[in-house]
Amino acid sequence: MTAKVSPTKEAPPGRLAGRWVPWLVIGLWVALAAVMVPLSGKLSSVTTDKAVDALPASAESTKVAELEESLPGAEDNTFVFVYHRAGGLTAADNATVERHYDTLAERYPPKTAMPGDDPSIRPSTNGQAMMFTLDLSTAYGPPEDLVGPLRDATEDRPTGLTLEVTGPAAIDGDLDAVFDGIDLQVFLTTVIVVTILLILTYRSPVLWFVPLVVVGVAALTSMATVYLLVKGFGIVVDNQNSALLTILVFGVGTDYALLLIARYRETLHHHQNARVAMIHALRGAAPAIIASAATVVAGLLCLLAADLNSISGLGPIGAAGILCALVAMLTLFPAVLVVLGRRIFWPAIPRLDPAPQEKPGLWGRLGTAISRRRWVATLGSFGILAALCLGLTGNTGALREQDQFLSPPESVTGFTVLRQNFPELGGQPMTIYTRPAYEKQILDVVKRTPGVAQAEPGETVQGWTDISVYPADAPDTPVEYDTIKRVRTAVHAIDGAEAIVGGPSAENLDTEVTTSRDEKLVIPLVLAVVLIVLGLLLRAIVAPLVLMATVIVSFAAAFGGSVFVFETILGFKGIDYSVPLLAFMFLVALGVDYNIFLTSRAREETVRLGTRDGMLKALSATGGVITSAGLVLAATFAVLVSLPLVMLVEVGFLVAFGVLLDALLVRSVLVPALTLLIGRRIWWPSRLSRPPAEAPPTGRHSPADDAEPALQR
């Protein structure tokens, strides 16, 4: 039951409740927005989709990519044109291929052709296909600007003659097309989703608009902040991280708004003055919100330890977004609410009532049921989580580059056709750079390496010679990766050659290996940091350990359930290399939020009511708002499911499912049940864990809670 508070006898909240304070805060934010909002539009100008910026910092393929960029003409875009007809090519088909090649060679003079007897056009042995390769200088533009005109220039073909424009540059171009305008798409979709959920949550024609506007301001401010970080510190921001920034800010910002509004509504029943009510609401909600933000920020900054550039770059980017959301929701949002007054809650305006009648409600009844059946609730929750974990026995292998699109573009289907008709060239070419004096020796050893179909020399530029090596196996397969490893071992054994091996498949191999190493470093670091934050917030050891255990089990269950959906329902052919680490980071840092909101309120109530009644009161008071926050956060991440890239769909679904699992099962049932089973010892070694005789004199524990051993209740 809520303590009775007299509005006439309360201690003054201080200068922060002054009439001028909200207007000052709003004025400062208006001035800040005038500076930051124009900068937010410049973020897209510093985002990058270059492979070298996303690759592992220390990997061999990164060194090759950096060398290619530094050498004049070495960073060409490679396009492969594959013509085929099921019944065999005709004379008209052959003439068309030659005409297309001449046209393109005149428009974009090629440096080299695909190795073979014919320097330009290569027929297949089965007579059903022909192909040629063009290496186009980056002076003609990036792949996304070239692939369209190249396809348009080859549209005039005899009926039945099919052409796929593929190759590494075509895949890059199609991938860039996926991300074209993705920031605006994600932003607008997220705004629509959050708007709908806020309207349904508050059932008010006006209240939903305030958090939406403030979160939007926080999102634009975070974009400007990230832009300044990129310009000042050279942080790598790719299209993927830019989209995740928007999702993060809207998700956590709306969560903070829901929690603060819930506390504010409570305090308005006890205080006539809206400013005074907001001060008390901030005193109650801010510690948990700050702890939540600190947990997410600390977890994100752990990503700086990762060697993969695209992962380590997300650390400061996400942390900046969370901090912007935190500051906006604890300053601008309260100020706007206070200025608008109680009317903002219309039609359900909270009235002054120091002793409002509390109804048990759904969450109160759930708490009572859990209290009566603690073991059933605990074992039942673990049973559900264990069943979901069985999904981890499914296909958790790495997703191939060719399988990363929901609808395979022409560049991906072209690789399949290429391998069917030119099996000796079915793999993506490796690029070897060596010193010119060792070119022949490198060629000889590479040609003798098992798994290599062909190896041909290229050009010598500024003291380096490049060699193109074609694996015999399909791209991004374990056997092709084994070939790359054998080639590297062979060329590294030649002293003085300084040979390095890169290329698209080598980049994917290095990325997969680096991600595995990063997981072993970052995951324990995130767990340790989150555990420390929980310990500081709850001033206990047992409670943080219990909460971390539930979050880890919840993550495993969410991952297992998602793998089942990906494999069985969606038909995905693996898990993108970055998904496990990103999902773990988000689910541990964000999933533990709901436990923070619940247990911090439970600790607050335990001082007055004891552990049992304190937890039940906390569950009753926070159940609705935390569930709403979970639904909003899950829905914002689910926005990623609408995008046409498998990696983003996997991250969006996994995080959304995990958040719902945390909010609806772990926080609602498992954590309360475990707390009731453990009893006051959950707060060990703080004074709340001691029997009543040793408890602090200001604390009022429930005799029923502390009279009997915890595990007997």
Domain boundaries, the chain: 1-59+188-357, 76-179, 368-393+516-713, 416-509
In tens, the pLDDT along 403-426 reads: 888 888 888 888 888 888 887 665
Name the amino acid, one letter, at 93.
Answer: D
Residue 208, helix vs strand vs coil: coil
In tens, the pLDDT along 541-600 reads: 998 899 888 888 999 999 999 999 998 898 888 888 888 888 888 888 777 777 787 888
In tens, the pLDDT along 522-543 reads: 999 988 888 888 888 888 899 8
Place of tokens 């500076």: 35
Q: Which residues of 6-26 are buried (b: 16+ CB within 10 A; e: fewer)?
A: eeeeeeebeeebeeebbeebb
User: Sorting pLDDT into bands at 50, 70 and 90, what band is 710?
Assistant: very low
Taking 90 as the threshold, does the pLDDT of residue 432 lie above it? yes
In tens, the pLDDT along 392-406 reads: 888 877 787 778 888
Same topology, domains 368-393+516-713 and 416-509? Answer is no
Find the DSSP H helices in 496-578: 504-538, 542-564
Q: What is the DSSP letter of 331?
A: I
Percent of the chain with pLDDT over 70: 89
Taking 50 as the threshold, does the pLDDT of residue 701 lie above it? no
* 686/695 Cα distance (integer angstroms): 10
In tens, the pLDDT along 171-196 reads: 888 877 776 666 677 777 878 887 88
* 452/447 Cα distance (integer angstroms): 6
Taking 70 as the threshold, does the pLDDT of residue 3 lie above it? no
623-646: average pLDDT: 82
R_g of the chain computed on alpha carbons: 30
* Pairing verdict, β 452-461 and 464-471: antiparallel
Q: Are 666 and 378 in contact (CB under 8 A)?
A: no
Instruction: Quote the pLDDT of residue 695.
Output: 46
Residue 209 class from Cβ within 10 Å (0-12 exposed, 13-18 middle, 19+ buried)?
middle
- Max distance between CA atoms of the chain, in angstroms, equals 100
User: Which superfamily does 368-393+516-713 belong to?
Assistant: Multidrug efflux transporter AcrB transmembrane domain (1.20.1640.10)
Taking 60 as the threshold, does the pLDDT of residue 5 lie above it? no
Taking 80 as the threshold, does the pLDDT of residue 227 lie above it? yes
Q: Are 349 and 645 in contact (CB under 8 A)?
A: no
Tell which CATH classification among 3.30.360.10, 3.30.70.120, 3.20.20.70, 3.40.50.2300 matches the domain 416-509.
3.30.70.120
User: Sorting pLDDT into bands at 50, 70 and 90, what band is 434?
Assistant: very high
Q: Considering the entire predicted model, what is its pTM?
A: 0.79
Instruction: Quote the pLDDT of residue 488.
Output: 94
With CA atoms as reference, report the closest residue to 313 among 244, 217, 388, 384: 244
- Strand pairing partners for 457? 467
User: Sorting pLDDT into bands at 50, 70 and 90, what band is 6?
Assistant: very low
Q: Are 111 and 73 in contact (CB under 8 A)?
A: yes
Taking 60 as the threshold, does the pLDDT of residue 111 lie above it? no
* 266/259 Cα distance (integer angstroms): 11
Give the sign of the dihedral formed by CA 369, CA 373, CA 376, CA 377.
Answer: positive
Place of tokens 């530029």: 461
Residue 572, helix vs strand vs coil: coil
In tens, the pLDDT along 20-74 reads: 788 888 999 999 989 888 888 788 777 776 666 777 778 898 888 888 877 776 5
The CATH number that domain 1-59+188-357 falls under is 1.20.1640.10
What is the arrangement of strands in the sheet containing 77-84, beginning at the earlier edge strand? Answer: 122-123, 129-136, 77-84, 162-166
Q: Which two tokens stand for residue 55?
A: 């690759």
Terminal Cα-to-Cα distance of the chain (whole angstroms): 22
Residue 295 class from Cβ within 10 Å (0-12 exposed, 13-18 middle, 19+ buried)?
buried
- Strand pairing partners for 456? 468
- Torsion angle in degrees (nearest 10) through CA of 430, 436, 440, 442: -40
Taking 50 as the threshold, does the pLDDT of residue 711 lie above it? no
263-279: average pLDDT: 82
Residue 563, helix vs strand vs coil: helix
Q: Which two tokens stand for residue 314?
A: 């997300």
Q: Are 443 and 455 in contact (CB under 8 A)?
A: yes
Instruction: Quote the pLDDT of residue 84.
Output: 92
* 385/661 Cα distance (integer angstroms): 9
Percent of the chain with pLDDT over 90: 18
User: Sorting pLDDT into bands at 50, 70 and 90, what band is 4?
Assistant: very low
Taking 80 as the threshold, does the pLDDT of residue 654 lie above it? yes
User: Sorting pLDDT into bands at 50, 70 and 90, what band is 147?
Assistant: confident
Own/partner pairs for 50-54, CB < 8 Å, 24+ apart? Answer: 51/172, 51/507, 53/236, 53/238, 53/309, 53/310, 54/236, 54/238, 54/308, 54/309, 54/310
265-277: average pLDDT: 81
Instruction: Quote the pLDDT of residue 450.
Output: 92
Taking 90 as the threshold, does the pLDDT of residue 489 lie above it? yes
Average confidence score pLDDT of the chain: 82
Q: Are 577 and 588 in contact (CB under 8 A)?
A: no
* 642/636 Cα distance (integer angstroms): 11
Query: CA 328 from chain center: how many Å?
Result: 22
Q: Are 483 and 473 in contact (CB under 8 A)?
A: yes
The CATH number that domain 76-179 falls under is 3.30.70.1150
517-524: average pLDDT: 90
